[in-house]
Amino acid sequence: MVMRNPLAYQICTNCVMDTTDSKITFGAEGVCDHCLTFRRQILPQWHTDERGRRELEKIVAKIRKSAGGRDFDCIIGMSGGIDSSYLTYIAKAELGLRPLVFHVDAGWNSQEAVNNIEKLVDKLGLDLYTEVIDWEEMRDLQLAFFKSGVPHIDTPQDHAFFATMYKFAEKHDIKYILTGANLSTECVRNPLEWMYYQTDSIQMLDIHRQFGTVPLTKFPVTSILRHKIYLPYVKRIRVVRPLNYVPYTKETAIRLLVERFGWQPYPQKHFESRFTRFYEGYWLYKKFGYDTRRVQYSSLILTRQMTRAEALEKLKSPPLDEETIRQEFEYVATKLGISVAQLEEYMRAPNRTYRDYKSQENVYALGAAVMRLLGLELGGKR
Ligand SMILES: [Zn+2]
């Protein structure tokens, strides 16, 4: 590994990850460790041809069998974004599964997301279950994250999604959860310092203990031991990522969804939630200098869905234009029940990291090392 001056700016010669990811390292010819992980660890084990299809068929057989006499054989976590929408189509139309479409409404759905979910569910003849998160608690937890100064303020929303879905599966004895997580568009992961583990309840609750104002009594909380050990190994609830076994490219998926379902595309990944759009498109970018498009585009470059030149061109302009930012800033402040001036104050306050609060980082690091050793997880955060 080549040593580098920690203050010098450097960008990978193969993808568009750069030193805004402070842990990035560069090897021969300036290729970064994200690219090397992809080439050495992910690519050799990622099969979307016949081999992947056969593996998927085996899993599908198990899923069908697990249903017993129930109406559903699995649940699909649906955000209305491209990955979960395409997954829903594949699961029903191509794999012949009987999924219950599961949606968590944390208060920030975009109108497009709502329309997309309805269209898919309708045309595929599926059932939709929507769990609504208690808004007072959600709002209080989100405000606590703003006050804490950490970059990962998307945690309350993501945590609620995970926790609610697992809870539902456990309660109704459903053994399989399908998610749209995939290597094709997500093989490069957000660095830990940009987005700390959203499932770390110790961190989330510590931040809420310090900055929250109402007790969390209804907000769904999960823990690493619960969803990494108890639910998969004791209750045998498994998470399957079907998009990793089939050819999946963003462009083709969007075209199919638009043509068959009248699905409405989003200008950027994760923009189905208005909060995430504000967070990734403005807050993280402006306050911390972290541009999640680098991660998304780098994934697309590695999987040959975008050229590096095209990515560099797009990165020249900010993710959101001035007018949208102004509107969204006001929307977010109003929705959270604070003034624009207050939100601006949070923006100017000193930046913190996940290390400034209690966490289970060590448990996650150990877990990830074990999973990689057993070959159960490819890549991972670092
Ligand atoms: Zn790279």
Residue 161's pLDDT is what?
A: 93
What separation in Å is there between the alpha carbon of 51 and the centre of ligand 1? 28
User: Ligand 1 centroid vs 27 CA: distance in angstroms?
Assistant: 10
| Edge-to-edge order in the sheet of strand 176-178 | 127-132, 99-105, 74-77, 176-178, 238-240
Query: How many angstroms is it from 347 CA to the middle of ligand 1?
Result: 30
Q: Give the model's pLDDT for residue 183.
A: 97
Rounded distance from Cα 323 to ligand 1 centre (Å): 33
Going from the Cα of 280 to the center of ligand 1, the distance in angstroms, rounded, reads 21
Going from the Cα of 377 to the center of ligand 1, the distance in angstroms, rounded, reads 20
C-alpha angle 332/103/155, rounded to 5°?
45
Distance CA 24, CA 153 (A): 23
Query: What is the Å distance from ligand 1's center to 137 Cα?
Result: 40
Ligand 1 centroid–CA 188 distance in Å is: 9
* The pLDDT value given to residue 4: 54
Q: Which amino acid, residue 73?
A: D
Structure letter (DSSP) for residue 195: S
| Residue 45, pLDDT score | 93
What separation in Å is there between the alpha carbon of 14 and the centre of ligand 1? 5
pLDDT confidence of residue 1: 46
Measure CA of the first residue to CA of the last residue in the chain; give whole Å. 17
Distance set, CA 301 to CA 14, 188, 347 (Å): 8, 10, 32
251 CA from centroid of ligand 1 (Å): 22
The pLDDT of residue 224 is 81
| Residue 39 Cα to ligand 1 middle (Å) | 10
Cα of 193 from ligand 1 centre, angstroms: 18
Q: How far does residue 283's CA lie from ligand 1's centre (Å)?
A: 24
Say what the pLDDT of residue 364 is: 86
| Cα of 37 from ligand 1 centre, angstroms | 9
- How far is ligand 1, taken at its centre, from the CA of residue 40, in Å? 13
Nearest to 117 by CA among 84, 166, 95: 84
Cβ proximity of 295 and 17 under 8 Å = yes
Ligand 1: centre distance to CA 295 (Å):
10
Q: State the distance from the centre of ligand 1 to the C-alpha of 33, rounded, in angstroms.
A: 6
d(CA 199, ligand 1 centre) in Å: 27
What pLDDT sits at residue 381? 64
Cα distance between residue 378 and residue 246, in whole Å: 17
Specify the amino acid at residue 97: L
Q: What's the CA-to-centroid distance between 312 and ligand 1, angstroms?
A: 13
Kindly state the DSSP code that residue 170 receives in the 8-state scheme.
H
Query: For residue 266, what pLDDT is reported?
Result: 86
Per-position pLDDT tens, the chain of length 382? 445 566 689 999 999 999 999 999 999 899 999 999 999 999 999 999 999 999 999 999 999 999 988 899 999 999 999 999 999 999 999 999 999 999 999 999 999 999 999 999 999 999 999 999 999 999 999 999 999 999 999 999 999 999 999 999 999 999 999 999 999 999 999 999 999 999 999 999 999 999 999 999 999 998 888 888 888 888 899 999 999 999 999 999 999 999 999 999 988 888 889 999 999 999 999 999 999 999 999 999 999 999 999 999 999 999 999 999 999 999 999 999 999 999 999 999 999 999 999 999 998 888 878 877 777 666 566 6
Say how many Å lie between the CA of residue 299 and the centre of ligand 1: 9
11 C-alpha to ligand 1 centroid (Å): 8
Q: How far is the CA of 54 from the centre of ligand 1 (A)?
A: 31
Q: How many Å lie between the centroid of ligand 1 and the Cα of residue 380?
A: 15
Q: CB-based contacts of 70: which residues, under 8 Å, 6+ apart? A: 172, 173, 174
DSSP secondary structure string for all residues of 132-163:
EPPHHHHHHHHHHHHHHT-S-TTHHHHHHHHH
> In a 10 Å sphere around its CB, with 0-12 CB exposed, 13-18 middle and 19+ buried, how is residue 367 labelled?
middle
